[in-house]
A and B are shown apart, each in its own frame.
Chain A
Amino acid sequence: MIRKRIVKDKLAHGVMLAMTLLSIVFVVVMAVGLYVKSAPVLENRSLWSLISSSQWKPMKGEFGFLPFIVGSLWVTFLAILISFPISLLTAVYLTEYARPVVRKFVFPALDILAALPSVIYGVWGMLVIVPWISDKVARHFVDFSSGYTVLAAGIVLGVMVIPLLVSLFIEVFSSVPAELREASLSLGATRWQTAKKVVLRKTLAGMLAATVLAISRAMGETIAVLMVCGCVIGIPSNILEPCYPIPALIANNYGEMLSMPLYESALMFAALILFVVVLVFNLLSRIILYRIERSEA
């Protein structure tokens, strides 16, 4: 009987280890696959010329990814700029101030928002945000704007990221022991002082990890952004110009590239850029997390 239990335990251990390795293997396989597929374009052009050139003429074999990289960074930056303060204050309110009955209603609402398909956000962006920018916002700054802009993509993406970021922040703030809050309150601190000086400080590392996760998610979002960004190749000089982020480039063109040499490879290289950027963000956040944890321990 005891032997049977031990065998089962070892078996469970083995299966779980295999599953863990499998999920890591997926990532490695994906990276290798993308690299192999991008190899032809990398053999023809130098890496520097691919990422620093703005010339995008697939018919002539010119692949400059700078407009797409800049477009992705602009939209992601704007989305985080919009979603970070909203999500942070929402999560602080829900964990530090809200009565349980409020949480009971807001949590499911956030789950619904998080579960909405991105195409719905895209449609909302096209019907509400794009006309609003075109009619109300842009005319104060430029002569004409279609509304399909970096700003529209940033707003739609920012709103999309909010439920994810709020959930992550709530999880992070909930990890702070109640005793720590009480230690601050018992010294005469208000709840806001406690949130600001104790909860946010204690969870700095967790907040950073959550934000990087949200950045990674925003960076890779395709459909909703594609629907409102304008998809015009060029480096936007301000947020009221259209842009063309990397995921939109891949999604819009993947079906058409077979007739042109190197096009498939170029699009795979675009995916590789996305992969590397997200990887670098995550690695950087790990390093910062490690430093924060070491300085606090």
Chain B
Amino acid sequence: MAIEIQNLNVHIKDNHILKNINLTLPEKQITCIIGPSGCGKSTLLRTLNRLIDSTEGVRLEGKVLVDGADIIGSGAEITELRRRIGLVSQRPCPLPMSIFDNVAYGCRINKMYKRHKALIYAVQKNLKAVGLWEEVRGRVRTPAARLSIGQQQRLCLARSLAVEPQYILADEATSALDPISSKTVEDLFVSLKNDYTIIMVTHTLRQALRIADNVVFMYLGEIVESGPAEQVFHNPQQELTQKYLSGAFS
């Protein structure tokens, strides 16, 4: 199993945000984390790549085993961990540089290629993987900010893929996009799951229904129910899950 979370508790100042989380995230599948706003979905995601560290007053307890190694302890190599766990955030966030340099950024930072030709090939490959190459070829040296929002989000995905991660975290990655771009990005995630383990936070139940292999339902910092998507959506075991899925609260 790829990621195993054991008794994880996250405190931010005096607030107990994540309470005793125990969860296994299966390899090369899409796991969707659902739940109402403020239930701790994004905190859980940000704990997995330790971006939570930049939050003031944060305290982590428990274990998060990524390929068997605990990433919570002080000995964890955070930069390497983050390279292995890519992140696509809610709003597309192109770096202040060209389209090419955006995709090449992580490769350069991690000194992945010695030859410039290999870097060019990697950039092309990843732009093709997200279906952006045909749209931007001939203008890859122009600022990334000139792309449409949907294109920018695909660029951010290409940028994450370029550092050859094993996992992709997506934090409501389609919520800022128009329906067409949203569908494109969603289809991309489905096509990527053969090679990557994808953990996706989403507010849209229909999206989770369409693409999830597994679903985790969270409420007030706790996991209420988790399991195969089919089971959670069609035969939920917990009353709270039933109420949430029926739209009693959101």
User: How would residues 77 to 104 of chain B score, 1 for a CB under 8 Å from any chain A CB and 0 otherwise?
Assistant: 0011011011101010101110000000
Residue ID in chain A nearest B85 by CB atoms: A186
Residue ID in chain B nearest A296 by CB atoms: B143
Within 8 A of B (CB), among A170-220: 177-190, 193, 197-198, 201-202
Cα A76 to Cα B91 in complex, Å, equals 43
The contact of A187 among B91, B105, B145, B146, by CB within 8 Å, is B105
Known: A180-B95, A183-B95, A198-B95. A188 touches B89 (CB 8 A): no
Binds A, one of B49-57, B60-68, B202-210: B49-57
Chain A residue total in the interface (Cβ 8 A): 23
Cα A197 to Cα B49 in complex, Å, equals 21
Cα A198 to Cα B156 in complex, Å, equals 15
Q: Do the beta carbons of B93 and A187 come within 8 Å of each other?
A: no
* Chain B residues whose C-beta falls within 8 Å of the C-beta of A179 in the assembled complex: 89, 91, 93
Give chain B's interface residue range (CB within 8 Å of chain A).
20 to 34
Q: State whether the Cβ of B109 lies closer than 8 Å to any Cβ in chain A.
A: yes
Residue ID in chain A nearest B56 by CB atoms: A100
Q: Do the beta carbons of A182 and B54 come within 8 Å of each other?
A: yes
* Chain A residues whose C-beta falls within 8 Å of the C-beta of B160 in the assembled complex: 186-187
* Chain B residues whose C-beta falls within 8 Å of the C-beta of A183 in the assembled complex: 87, 89, 93, 95, 156, 159
The contact of B82 among A181, A188, A197, A295, by CB within 8 Å, is A188
Q: State whether the Cβ of B163 lies closer than 8 Å to any Cβ in chain A.
A: yes
Cα A178 to Cα B42 in complex, Å, equals 15
Q: State whether the Cβ of B106 lies closer than 8 Å to any Cβ in chain A.
A: yes
* Chain B residues whose C-beta falls within 8 Å of the C-beta of A296 in the assembled complex: 96, 143, 145
**Least Cβ–Cβ distance between B13 and chain A, in angstroms:** 11
Q: Do the beta carbons of A182 and B87 come within 8 Å of each other?
A: yes
Closest 9 CB pairs of A and B: A188-B83, A187-B106, A186-B87, A202-B96, A183-B93, A179-B93, A189-B109, A188-B79, A188-B82
